[in-house]
Structure 1
Amino acid sequence: MKSLLSLLAAGLLLAGPTLAQQPVQAIIRTMKDPATKQVVVVAHRADWRSEPENSIPGIESAIKMGVDMVEIDLKKSKDGVLILMHDETLNRTTTGKGKPSDYTWAELQQLTLKNEHGGPTRLRIPTFEQCMLAAKGRVMVNVDKGYDYYQEAYDVLEKTGTVDHAVIKSYETYATVKAAHGNLLNSKLLYMPIIGLEKPGAEASIREYEQQLKPVAYELNFASDTALTHSIYQTIPKTGSKIWFNSLWASQNAGHDDERSVEENQPADGWGWLLAHGATIIQTDRPAELLAYLRARQLHK
C-alpha cells in the first residue's frame, strides 16, 4: 500500500499543479471581477528589453516578474503553422528576409531571432502552440494580430487546454465579429474590442458591444485628453467590463506613457493619470517598473 501511495504522489508531482494551484486561475478571476481594485499588468511583446520580442525566454522573464498577461502577435507560415511574429516581414526581428508566409515552418526554423539591438541570437521563432504551453497554468496571453486566424488560434488553444488563458481582440464592430465568429463569442475565449476614440462611430461601437456582448474589456486608444474625457467610456465599468489603456507610446494615451512615468520620472502624470481615469488593465513596455509602482499603492499583489 505504501508503495502504491508513493507512486500516486509521484504521479501527481509529474502532472504539475492542480487547477486550484495554478496562478493563472487567480489572474482569470481578477480579469472577470469588476469590483476588484487589483490592476492587471500586460507585458507588451513580453519582456523584450531583456529577451527577443515574441520569444519564449521573453515570456518566461515576464512571468518571473509577476505580470498577469503577456501580449504576443501572430503570423502564419507557408504551410499553415501559427508563429509568434509582429511585423509583416522577418527583416527586423530575425536573420531572415521577406514574409513569414513565404517560408515553411521547417525553413523558418533555420532562422534565428534578433535581440533589441538587432544582433542575432541562437533562439528560434516559436509557434503559438509552444507559446501557450509555456504560458499554461502560469499567465494569460493577449493574442494581438490574431483576429485573421481566429478559428485556427482557437484550435491551438483547445489543443493545449488554454482557451480560458487567452484574450483575442480586433478593431471590428460587434456585427462584423458576430457574423464571422459568432460561434466562438460565447466560449471561454475572451474577446476584447479595440476602440480608437477619435474615430467616427467609436461611441456607437461601444454602445453596441455593451448591449450585445459585454466584453471582458475594451482597449481604448486616444491621442488627446479631450478625446477620452468627452467620450462615453465611463459607462463601461457599469456593464462589468474592464478598461484597458496602453502606456506604450504617446499617440495611444495622449502622452501619459511609460516614458513620462520612467524616463521623465513623472509617474503621477503617466500611469497615475491612466489609473485616475479608470484604467483597470495597463499594457506596458516597462513591466518591472509598473509592477513596483502598483505594488507600492497596493494595486497589485
Structure 2
Amino acid sequence: MKKRILTGALLGFAILAYTQNSQEETSIYDEQALSRAEITHIMTDASYRPNYYMSVAHRAKISGHEEFPENSLSVIKNSIMLGVNLLEIDLKISSDGYVYLMHDDYLQRTTNFLDIYPGTGTGQDNYGKCSAYTWEATKNLLLKRSDFTYSEEKIPLFRDVLRYVKSNTQAILNLDINSEDVFNATWNIVKDEDAFDIVIFKTRGATLDAFKNNYYDALSDADKTKLILFPIISGKIPNIPQYYQEWENSKIPKGYEVSFRNNSTAADTILLNVVKSIRTTKRVRVHAFSTLPDNYKGRYKGNVNINQCCNNAFDRRGDWEFLLDPFIEGGTEHGVDGSIITDDPILLDDFFISIDKHN
C-alpha cells in the first residue's frame, strides 16, 4: 500500500466517484501504486526494502466501508480503489465442485439462505452447509452487509474474481483455504488461469513431501518461479522447529504465516523462536493475522458461523506492537516484518508509516 494523506473531502470525493460510475475501473491512486512485481518482491524477499511492511484487507474489507459485503466483488474493487493491493479472501466449494468466495462453512450469516430455504435440515445443517448445495442452488443468494441488511450482490465465483484481479489491477489475493478439496480445486483453477503470481497459497499443516507429491512437482519451471507459498506455522503442528526447517531447506516457501498469540507459555516460546529463526536467516519474511486491536477477544460472536463460535481465550494478535516485537525487546528485529492481515488496513498502514516501516 502507498503512502497517502487524504483529507475528508478527497476521500469523500473518491468514494462518490466510485459509486456514481461503477464502470470506472482505474484507481485514483494508480499513478502512485506499486506494481504487482514490486509488491511481490517486497513481500517475499527479506533483504529488499526491509523497512516496507504491508497490510492485508481481511475478507477484502476496509473497516468503515460497511456498505460492501465481505468477500464480494464490490468490496474487492472498493479496497483496491482506496489503495489496498493485498486482499485476503476465503474460499468454499459447492457440492458439484464450484469454488466461490465465502468465509463461513454455512451460508446463513452472510446470505439470504434462510429466506430461500426455510426449515431445511436439522441442527447446524439448517444453516446451509456450503458443501451440501450445488452452485445452481447457491449462485442467486444475495449477500448481506455487516449490519445484516441485504445487498443486491450475489456470491462471486473465485475464477471470475481471479480473472478480474489479474486483468484489471495490480492486486494480489491472499487465499484462506481450510480443506484439502477446496485447496485442490483452487490450485487447478489458478493453474488453468496462469495466475500463480496473482495469489498467495497457504498450507495448513501439510508436510513438505505431501505438498511436493500432490502439487509442486507437477508444475512447470515457470510456475514454480511464480508460485507464492506461505506455509502456516501454528501451535497445532507437532515438532514445530523440525517442520519449519524441512520447509526452509526446500527453499520453496516465499514466506511464512506464523500464528503466535502470546508470549507467556513454553508453547508460545517455541513458536516465537521459529519467528526469530526466520528473521535471523534473512531469506523470506514473517507474516501474521491480526484484527482491530479493541475487539479481538470474543470477536467470533456474530462474526462467523455457529460452528466457529467463540474465541474467549486471551489473544494478543490484535496488538500490532506485540506482533512486531513479541519478545518485548523494544525493537522489531524478531517479529513480523512482512504483512499483517487486518480489518483496518488503512489504519495499520498509517501505523507502519508512524514507526518508519513503510518506506
1:100 aligns with 2:114: no
| Counterpart amino acid of residue 193 in structure 1 | P
The structure-2 alpha-carbon separation of the partners of 1:298 and 1:60, relative to structure 1 and needing over 3 Å to count, comes to: farther
CA apart distance, 1:214: 4.2
| Counterpart amino acid of residue 172 in structure 2 | M
Partner SS for 2:150: coil
- TM-score normalized with structure 2 length: 0.68
Contact 2:97 2:185 in 1 (8 A): no
Contact 1:55 1:126 in 2 (8 A): yes
| Aligned counterpart in structure 2 of residue 235 of structure 1, from 261, 265, 277 | 277
Contact 1:112 1:123 in 2 (8 A): yes
How far apart in 2 are the matches of 1:272 and 1:169?
21
Deviation string 1:144-190 (CA, Å, 9 cap, x unpaired) is 11653334323322444422011111222212222322324835221
The structure-2 alpha-carbon separation of the partners of 1:189 and 1:150, relative to structure 1 and needing over 3 Å to count, comes to: farther
2:116 matched residue in structure 1: none
For structure 1, the residue ranges without an aligned partner over 5 or more in a row are 1-15, 261-266
1:179 aligns with 2:213: yes
Partner SS for 1:59: helix
Greater RCO, CA 8 A, separation 6+: 2
1:273 aligns with 2:325: yes
How far apart in 2 are the matches of 1:207 and 1:214?
12
| Aligned counterpart in structure 2 of residue 78 of structure 1, from 87, 95, 119 | 95
Contact 1:197 1:220 in 2 (8 A): no
How far apart in 1 are the matches of 2:132 and 2:344?
33
Q: Which moved more, 1:169-178 or 1:52-61?
A: 169-178
CA apart distance, 1:31: 1.9
Partner SS for 1:169: strand
Contact 1:225 1:254 in 2 (8 A): no
Deviation string 1:31-70 (CA, Å, 9 cap, x unpaired) is 2322122112111111164221111111122212322311
1:116 aligns with 2:146: yes
Give me the CA root mean square deviation: 2.8
The structure-2 alpha-carbon separation of the partners of 1:224 and 1:254, relative to structure 1 and needing over 3 Å to count, comes to: farther
1:204 matched residue in structure 2: 242
CA apart distance, 1:245: 1.7
How far apart in 1 are the matches of 2:182 and 2:225?
16
CA apart distance, 1:199: 4.5
* 1:13-52 to 2 correspondences below 5 Å: 23-35=35-47, 36=49, 37-47=51-61, 49=63, 50=65, 51-52=68-69
1:144 aligns with 2:159: no
Aligned length: 273
1:54 matched residue in structure 2: 71
For structure 2, the residue ranges without an aligned partner over 5 or more in a row are 1-25, 27-32, 114-126, 298-310
| Counterpart amino acid of residue 46 in structure 1 | A
CA apart distance, 1:298: 3.7
The structure-2 alpha-carbon separation of the partners of 1:187 and 1:101, relative to structure 1 and needing over 3 Å to count, comes to: farther
The structure-2 alpha-carbon separation of the partners of 1:272 and 1:151, relative to structure 1 and needing over 3 Å to count, comes to: closer
CA apart distance, 1:82: 0.9
1:217 aligns with 2:255: yes
2:13 matched residue in structure 1: none
- TM-score normalized with structure 1 length: 0.80
CA apart distance, 1:195: 1.0
Contact 1:214 1:240 in 2 (8 A): no
The structure-2 alpha-carbon separation of the partners of 1:200 and 1:88, relative to structure 1 and needing over 3 Å to count, comes to: same
Partner SS for 1:131: helix
How far apart in 1 are the matches of 2:211 and 2:112?
36
CA apart distance, 1:297: 3.3
Give the percent of matched residue pairs that are identical in Structure 1 and Structure 2: 28
How far apart in 2 are the matches of 1:270 and 1:62?
26
How far apart in 1 are the matches of 2:253 and 2:189?
22
1:90 aligns with 2:107: yes
